Amino acid sequence: MAKKVLIVDDEPELLNLMKYTLEGGGYEISTCDTGRQVLAALQKNKPDVMLPGIDGHSLVNKISQDENLRNIPIIVLSALEATKALFQKFQQVVAFMPKPFKSEEFLNTVKSVLK
């Protein structure tokens, strides 16, 4: 059975690139383009990993407080390398990738997290 991944990003082109890359790697993908959709999508789809791209800090903070969601590993993607330090306090943040990124590196990071 394919591992489930939820991708969140407000840039449609990047969202589609990540979806295409991971589908090619055999993953089942759900997407959200706004932070408001995320909590409902997490409850409904129960992904094996989540990739937040928009207001990730607030989103990860909410998820970390939810008993049903706090064990979902999160890979943070951000154009702001300096934000990496903000996410280090969250146990479920298992990787940080700066934007832009290479598709192969992105796929390898997801594979590594889902081993």
- In which domain, by residue range, is 106 found? 4-113
Query: Would you say residue 88 has pLDDT above 80?
Result: yes
How do residues 32-85 score in pLDDT, each as one tens digit? 988 778 888 888 888 988 777 657 888 898 899 999 999 999 999 988 888 899
| Coil vs helix vs strand at 57 | helix
What pLDDT was estimated at residue 15? Answer: 94
Q: Tell me what pLDDT residue 35 has.
A: 78
Give the pair of three-digit tokens for residue 113.
């997290």
The per-residue pLDDT for 54 is 59
Q: What is the pLDDT of residue 53?
A: 62
Asked if 74 contacts 47 with a C-beta cutoff of 8 angstroms, the reply is no
Q: 113 near 49, Cβ under 8 Å? A: yes
pTM: 0.89
Tens-place pLDDT, residues 7-26: 998 899 999 999 999 999 99
> Quick check: 31 pLDDT over 80?
yes
Question: What total of structural domains would you count in the chain?
Answer: 1
CA angle 56, 106, 78 (to 5 degrees): 25
User: Residue 91 belongs to a domain with what CATH number?
Assistant: 3.40.50.2300
Residue 30 clears pLDDT 90, i.e. is over it: yes
Interval 89-110 mean pLDDT? 94
